[in-house]
Structure 1
Amino acid sequence: MEPKIRIDVLTLDSVQCAACGYMMESIAALPQDIQALIEYKEWSIKQKEGIAMFTKLKGKVLPTICIENDLVFQSIIPQYEELIDELAKRAPSDDIKKLILDLRDHDFDFDNIKTNLDRAGSGHNTRSDE
C-alpha cells in the first residue's frame, strides 16, 4: 500500500474563522477516491500543538494548506483543480499521480458543507474550556 499524501491545514479556528472553514472544506469535498489517498489534519493556533506545527512548518499567515510539509496555499483558498494539481505534484508514485489527475474533474461533493466540515474534523482541534 502506498503512503498517503500528508496535508496539514494551519488555522486560527475553522469554526469561528470563515476562511479557515473554507480551507478545511476544500479538502473534505475532494472525491472519495482522492480522500483515500490523503491524510489531513487541522492545526489551530489556539492549541499548543497548533502553535508548534505553525512554527515547525514555518507558517507566515493563516489559513495555510501545507502538502508534504510545503506551504502551498497561504491565505488563498484553492480552487479544487489547483488543489488536485498540487496533490499530484507530491504523489508518492507515478501511478498515484495519474490516478489523482484522472479524478481532477469528477465527483466533487459541493452540496454537503456540514457533512464535509464534519468529515474534515472542523472544530475538533480547537480550544475548549473543559
Structure 2
Amino acid sequence: MSDQKVKIDVLTLDSVQCAACGYMMESIAAMPPDVQEMIEYKEWSIKTKSGIGKFLELNGKVLPTICIEGDLVFESIIPQYEELIDELAKRAPTPEMSERIKSLRDVGFDFDNIKANLQKAGSGLNTRAD
C-alpha cells in the first residue's frame, strides 16, 4: 500500500479544557486501526501562534472544526462514524484508498486505543500548566 495518507487538521480551543473540542479529537482518535493506518491528524489549538496561523490558513470560522485535506468539513458538529468515513473516502488520495475506507464503514469506532491515538496527534499538548 502507498504511504499516502488522508490529512486531517482539527481546529480547537483546547481539547483538554473544552469538552466539544475533546469530543472532536476523540472522534478521529477512535477510528479503528485500519483507518488509523490511512490518516494523519493533528490538533491545532488557537491558544498557540501556530494554531492561530492554521485557523487563518484554513479560513476557519468556528471551533471546533475538523478539516480533511484542507476542507472545512465538520464545523461545530461532532461527526458520527459513518459520516466521518464517508468524508474521508471522498477525499482519499487514490481510488483504491477510497474503496478501502468505504469497506470499513460498518466497523465502527474502536475506543480501546483512544489515549494512545490522542497522544500521537499531540492532543492536549498546548494546555497551560500555570
Q: Which residue of 1 aligns with 2:93?
A: 92
Percent identity over the alignment is: 70
Query: Aligned equivalents of 2:93 and 2:57: distance in 1?
Result: 22
Structure 1 pair 107–4 and aligned structure 2 pair: CA distance change class (3 A): same
Cα distance in 2 for partners of 1:28, 1:42 equals 11
After superposition, what is the alpha-carbon deviation per residue over 1:11-30, rounded to whole angstroms, capped at 9, x for unaligned?
00000000000000000000
- The 1:80/1:107 distance shift into structure 2, 3 A limit, reads closer
Gaps of at least 5 residues in structure 2 are none
Let me know the Cα RMSD of the aligned residues: 1.8
Provide the rounded CA distance (Å) in 1 between the counterparts of 2:113 and 2:86: 23
Q: Which runs of 5+ in 1 are unaligned?
A: none
Secondary structure of residue in 1 paired with 2:98: helix
Residue type at the aligned position of 1:6: K
Give a deviation string over 1:99-125, Cα, whole Å, max 9, x none. 00101111521356545543443202x
Is residue 10–residue 44 contact of structure 1 (8 Å, CA) maintained in 2? Answer: yes
Q: Secondary structure at the match of 2:35?
A: helix
One-letter code of the match for 1:52? G
CA contact (8 A) 2:27 2:81 kept: yes
Checking the alignment, whether the CA contact within 8 Å between 1:44 and 1:50 is kept in structure 2 is yes
Report which stretch shifted further, 114-123 or 69-78.
114-123
Change (3 A) 1:21 1:107: same
Q: Which has the higher mean CA deviation after the structures are superposed, 103-112 or 28-37? A: 103-112
Contact 1:28 1:119 in 2 (8 A): no
Q: What TM-score results when the alignment is normalised by the length of structure 2?
A: 0.91
Query: Could you list the per-position Cα deviations for residues 19-47 of structure 1 after superposition, in whole angstroms to 9, with x for gaps in the alignment?
Result: 00000000000011110101000000000
Contact 1:2 1:92 in 2 (8 A): no
Q: How many residues align?
A: 129
What amino acid is aligned across from residue 91 of structure 1 in structure 2? A
TM-score normalised by structure 1 residue count:
0.91
Give the conservation status (yes or no) of the 8 Å contact 2:16–2:127: no
| Higher mean C-alpha displacement, 54-63 vs 98-107 | 98-107
